[in-house]
């Protein structure tokens, strides 16, 4: 076995040779350099140069997808996206307001009483007699016909 070169010149030559080779994978770009001299260190080449190019490609893909879905002449998609984004804070605000109302001492009991009263009225109005049940079924059928065609 031949002894390995451990001089600074030998490590510089190996780094220059590895830098001139085409870079394919991160494992191949990081040569292992063994040196007995603790004062000299050789930094392994990094792949940071490819990062801006990769980011630029991703940004181009995102902008292309954005134009495909929300581009010129596609206002309904844009309106839908804006509506969904605007609905999130609105739902949070409504939830907070309802929690506040629920914490008031008298209101939860009043809301339960109103709900119970409406349920009693609905049963009396639509479910007790046969002709009012038919009226309810006809109303539901006409609504289904309007909505679904």
- Within the chain, strands assigned E span none
pLDDT at res. 89: 94
- Domain span including residue 34: 8-47
CA 15/CA 44 separation, integer angstroms: 8
Total tally of structural domains belonging to the chain: 2
CA 59/CA 62 separation, integer angstroms: 5
Residue-wise pLDDT tens digits, 53-89: 778 888 999 888 878 776 766 666 777 778 889 999 9
- 30 falls within a domain: yes
- 119 falls within a domain: yes
Nearest CA to 6 among 25, 34, 31, 30? Answer: 34
- 29 falls within a domain: yes
CA 84/CA 70 separation, integer angstroms: 14
- 137 falls within a domain: yes
Q: Which residue is listed with tokens 């879905």?
A: 69
Which pTM was predicted? 0.35
Residue-wise pLDDT tens digits, 133-147: 999 999 999 999 998
Residue-wise pLDDT tens digits, 117-126: 999 999 999 9
- 77 falls within a domain: no
- 115 falls within a domain: yes
- 70 falls within a domain: no
DSSP state of 124: I
- 86 falls within a domain: no
């Amino acid at each position: 076995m031949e002894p390995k070169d451990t001089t600074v010149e030998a490590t510089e030559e190996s780094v220059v040779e590895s830098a001139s080779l085409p870079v394919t994978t991160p494992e191949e770009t990081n040569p292992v350099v063994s040196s007995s001299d603790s004062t000299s260190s050789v930094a392994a080449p990094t792949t940071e140069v490819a990062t801006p190019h990769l980011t630029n490609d991703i940004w181009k893909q995102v902008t292309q997808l954005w134009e495909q879905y929300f581009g010129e002449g596609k206002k309904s998609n844009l309106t839908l996206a804006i509506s969904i984004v605007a609905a999130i804070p609105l739902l949070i605000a409504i939830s907070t307001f309802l929690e506040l109302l629920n914490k008031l001492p008298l209101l939860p009991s009043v809301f339960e009483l109103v709900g119970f009263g409406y349920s009693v009225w609905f049963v009396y109005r639509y479910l007790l007699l046969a002709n009012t049940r038919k009226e309810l079924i006809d109303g539901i059928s006409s609504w289904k016909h309007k909505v679904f065609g």
